[in-house]
Amino acid sequence: MTDLTLQGVRKEFDGVVAVKNIDLHIPDGAFVTVVGPSGCGKSTTLRLIAGLEQATDGMIQMGTQDVTGVEPKDRDVAMVFQNYALYPHMTARRNITFGMKAAGDFSDEEIERQVAEAAAVLDIDDLLDRKPGELSGGERQRVALGRALVRDPEVFLMDEPLSNLDAKLRIKMRAELAKLHSEFGTTTIYVTHDQTEALTLGDRVVVMNDGRIQQVDSPQRLYDFPKTRFVAEFIGDPAMNMLPVDIARNGTDYEAVGPTFRITLPEGDGLEAAAGGQAILGIRPESLSVADSADRSSFTAEVTVTEPLGDSLLLECRTGDQEFKLHAEPRTAVKPGDQVALTVDAERLHLFDSQTGNAIYHAAAAQSLEETDTVDSTI
């Protein structure tokens, strides 16, 4: 086990920059998930850590050792792939031992013991003499995990390991992965495009976009205090509503003023600087609700689409020329075309800079933005 540091890491492929200047520190024993849309550079980052790609610039450190130019096998990492990467002509057992034997620093008894141990943990004892073709997707992924486990590496690298499984199995394996990590405590870096996986598995989540790290934070803070408009929209489903507004000062209060609404913003950092200008108001769908009667911070909108989800009713609404979504109580009696009065959970409002997309204000009583994650990452 060891901690891992990336400093100014950059990767170009034939002039295309896939990873732009990444700084990241992963503490010993952490489970870090890296999430982002496809092409954001998350897989490349993982492969840079594995040593499958060589960084164009920057430094990668494991513990105190600079591993930037070190061969993958000497980095003591193990990798698990989306398509399992099992050798189809070998039995599960041989798949597990093949790499160990190639590494050559294990005795036969040691290998035997490690395999038995890993098989017991992963519950694949009975499958060891089968070939991958005779195993289900979930079983294959267990074997692939077993192969990584027996190596007893400093760091586990996982590249979308659950993406090829069906939804049910994915949730089950997710729980097992979390259990495995709490048992072994090995530093794990887990790349996924699935935000649910990222939030549920990671004790730290790295959000990437366009080759850059957008934010590194705990799952809840990521959700509550997105640093950029990108993070706000990427995390959460349906995505956070984004409404262009003017920030106006009304006596001692500040208000977000849209063409058809006027919402009072609770006192907080950043408002004074924003006053008199334009910004993007971010409201999560669950922070809006249908009001019984009009009150001070509500506004009206027209319902365009209703989607009953069972535990809630998703409404698509329009006010003026702006569209947004909200989670209403299930069984609320509205239909498309209805006018509804809406209330806003004032503690859950966000403002983003119209130009840069950076967050300028979170309504929830928060520490100032700079304090969120100065230890682990600088953007």
Peptide bond into 266 cis (omega under 30): no
Among 66, 87, 259, 329, binds another protein (CB under 8 A): 87
Q: CB 122 → another protein: shortest distance, Å?
A: 17
Interhelix angle 108-122/92-103, nearest 10 degrees: 140
Say if residues 24 and 376 touch (Cβ distance below 8 Å).
yes
Is residue 111 within the footprint of another protein (CB under 8 A)? no
Among 9, 22, 25, 82, binds another protein (CB under 8 A): 82
**Interacting stretch for another protein, rule CB under 8 A, among 80-88, 308-316, 343-351, 368-376?**
80-88
Is residue 79 within the footprint of another protein (CB under 8 A)? yes
Among 29, 99, 137, 357, binds another protein (CB under 8 A): 99
Q: CB 206 → another protein: shortest distance, Å?
A: 17
Each residue 35-74 as x (binds another protein by CB under 8 A) or -, in order, gives --------xx--x--xxxx-----------------xxxx
**Interacting stretch for another protein, rule CB under 8 A, among 60-68, 86-94, 175-183, 349-357?**
86-94
Is residue 77 within the footprint of another protein (CB under 8 A)? yes
Nearer to another protein, 100 or 162 (CB): 100
- For 92-136, the DSSP string reads HHHHHHHHHHHH--S-HHHHHHHHHHHHHHHT-GGGTTS-GGGS-
Nearer to another protein, 158 or 359 (CB): 158
**Smallest Cα–Cα separation from 144: which of 205, 230, 194, 79?**
79
Strands 155-159 and 187-192, sheet pairing:
parallel
Nearer to another protein, 40 or 235 (CB): 40
- 167 CB-near residues (< 8 Å, 6+ apart): none
Say if residues 304 and 316 touch (Cβ distance below 8 Å).
yes
Is residue 133 within the footprint of another protein (CB under 8 A)? no
Among 103, 116, 120, 294, binds another protein (CB under 8 A): 103
Q: How far apart are CA 145 and CA 96, in angstroms?
A: 9
Burial 16-31 (b: 16+ CB within 10 A, else e): eebbbbbbbbbeeebb
Say if residues 376 and 323 touch (Cβ distance below 8 Å).
no
Residues of this chain that interact with another protein (CB under 8 A) are 18, 43-44, 47, 50-53, 71-74, 77-79, 81-85, 87-89, 98-100, 102-103, 147, 151, 157
